[in-house]
Amino acid sequence: MILALAGGVGGARMAAGLAQVLPPESLTVVVNTGDDFEHLGLSISPDLDSVMYTLAGRNNAAQGWGLEGETGRCMEALKALGGDTWFFLGDMDLATHLRRTQRLREGATLSQVTRELCAALGVRHTVAPMTDDRVATRVLTPDGELDFQEWFVRRRCEPQFLEVRFDGAAAARPSETLVRALADPELDAVVICPSNPFVSIRPILALPGVEEALRLRRVPVVAVSPIIGNASVKGPLGKILGELGWEVSSGAIARHYGDLVDGIVIDAGDARLAAAIEANCRTRVQAVPSLMKDAATQRRLAEAVVAFARNLARQ
């Protein structure tokens, strides 16, 4: 069994690749919920939705988030009413938030709701939130501390990223799915998806016991670098790395994860970095074409990642 830790777009694409390669019982995707927020009275879980929609084959692949064929009639009307439209909620996507909000109010856990939504969407692999408790990613900027979506969407990542903290993480319990996966005797490897390490993966690792469990387990932990060349494939990672004083390269990703990971998958074009990473970080490196443009490239990367992890396990 493979446990994948996933954030937004990169996580969703990697999860979709792994789901092509592994049967439902052999893949558990645990998703960052630090980006979750209440907006317009709705409980919104952007990363869970990205993963669910992508696994369901319903995502807008070009855009990277939301549903294919989505419309914005509600948002248009809301704009005319003077409402908040900085966070776009498509008409079909709204149904997900309405349903989630209702079920949470009825007392269901986010894990339960996610299971129900996945079942309704035809997602057969296991998808779970990192926790059922409230964790809020907060970005410290020169303008003060901002809620993640305020920084990410409303302010378009413009304010300098000085630091990040995960409000509530220390008191949150990892979800049962995460706890069980980490303790599962069938666990073969943990894949850290090519998500933003600072805002998508660190919230998961910040939950009590998670990083310790990864270190204590004898299964390989493999990260897939979200950097190709000197840029992040998507999102503000390049900007964040620069503002934190790191160079923008897969070498920085390897150093960031340090000895938490046993191996890192980097892009074939960055193969020249492999020797330095292996020497400096004691991390095994696999260089393969890592840009996930479509189902075929997602599948090929997933195959390479799984093969690399299985290979590490045998060593």
| Tokens describing residue 234 | 């998507």
Work out how close the CB of 112 gets to its own copies at its nearest, in angstroms, rounded to a whole number. 13
CA distances from residue 70 to 16, 60, 84, 94, 118 in whole angstroms, order as listed: 20, 8, 19, 10, 19
Does 81 bind its own copies (CB under 8 A)? Our answer is yes
Does 275 bind its own copies (CB under 8 A)? Our answer is no
CB atoms within 10 A of CB 73: 10
| Per-residue three-class SS string for 232-290 | ECCCCHHHHHHHCCCCCCHHHHHHHHHHHCCEEEEEHHHHHHHHHHHHHHCCEEEEECC
The region of 5-13, 85-93, 161-169, 294-302 touching its own copies under the rule CB under 8 A is: 85-93
Does 121 bind its own copies (CB under 8 A)? Our answer is yes
Residue whose pair of structure tokens reads 């369901």 in the numeric block: 56
CA distances from residue 157 to 42, 46, 146, 234, 313 in whole angstroms, order as listed: 23, 16, 11, 13, 39
- Structural Rg of the chain based on CA atoms: 19
DSSP output for 104-135: HHTT--HHHHHHHHHHHHT--SEEEESBSS--
The region of 29-37, 90-98, 244-252, 301-309 touching its own copies under the rule CB under 8 A is: 90-98
Give 92 or 288: the residue with its C-beta nearer to its own copies.
Answer: 92
Q: Which of 165, 306, 122, 150 is nearest to 224 (CA)?
A: 306
Binds its own copies (CB under 8 A): choice among 26, 60, 101, 109: 101
Binds its own copies (CB under 8 A): choice among 24, 63, 68, 73: 73
Binds its own copies (CB under 8 A): choice among 95, 162, 276, 307: 95
| Tokens describing residue 236 | 């503000």
Does 124 bind its own copies (CB under 8 A)? Our answer is no
Does 108 bind its own copies (CB under 8 A)? Our answer is no
Does 239 bind its own copies (CB under 8 A)? Our answer is no
Work out how close the CB of 87 gets to its own copies at its nearest, in angstroms, rounded to a whole number. 12
Work out how close the CB of 144 gets to its own copies at its nearest, in angstroms, rounded to a whole number. 21
Binds its own copies (CB under 8 A): choice among 1, 61, 92, 313: 92
Does 279 bind its own copies (CB under 8 A)? Our answer is no
Q: At what angle do helices 250-257 and 274-281 cross, to 10 degrees?
A: 20
Give 20 or 109: the residue with its C-beta nearer to its own copies.
Answer: 109
Could you say which residues in the range 16-55 bind its own copies, by CB under 8 A? 40-42
| Tokens describing residue 230 | 């000197």
Could you say which residues in the range 140-179 bind its own copies, by CB under 8 A? none
Give 35 or 70: the residue with its C-beta nearer to its own copies.
Answer: 70
Binds its own copies (CB under 8 A): choice among 33, 96, 225, 290: 96
Report the Cα–Cα distance between both ends of the chain, in Å, rounded.
18
- CA 34/CA 43 separation, integer angstroms: 13
Give 14 or 127: the residue with its C-beta nearer to its own copies.
Answer: 127
- CA 176/CA 108 separation, integer angstroms: 14
Does 313 bind its own copies (CB under 8 A)? Our answer is no
Give 119 or 307: the residue with its C-beta nearer to its own copies.
Answer: 119
Does 94 bind its own copies (CB under 8 A)? Our answer is yes
Q: Where on the chain is the footprint of its own copies (CB under 8 A)?
A: 40-42, 71, 73-78, 80-84, 91-96, 98-99, 101-102, 105, 116-117, 120-121
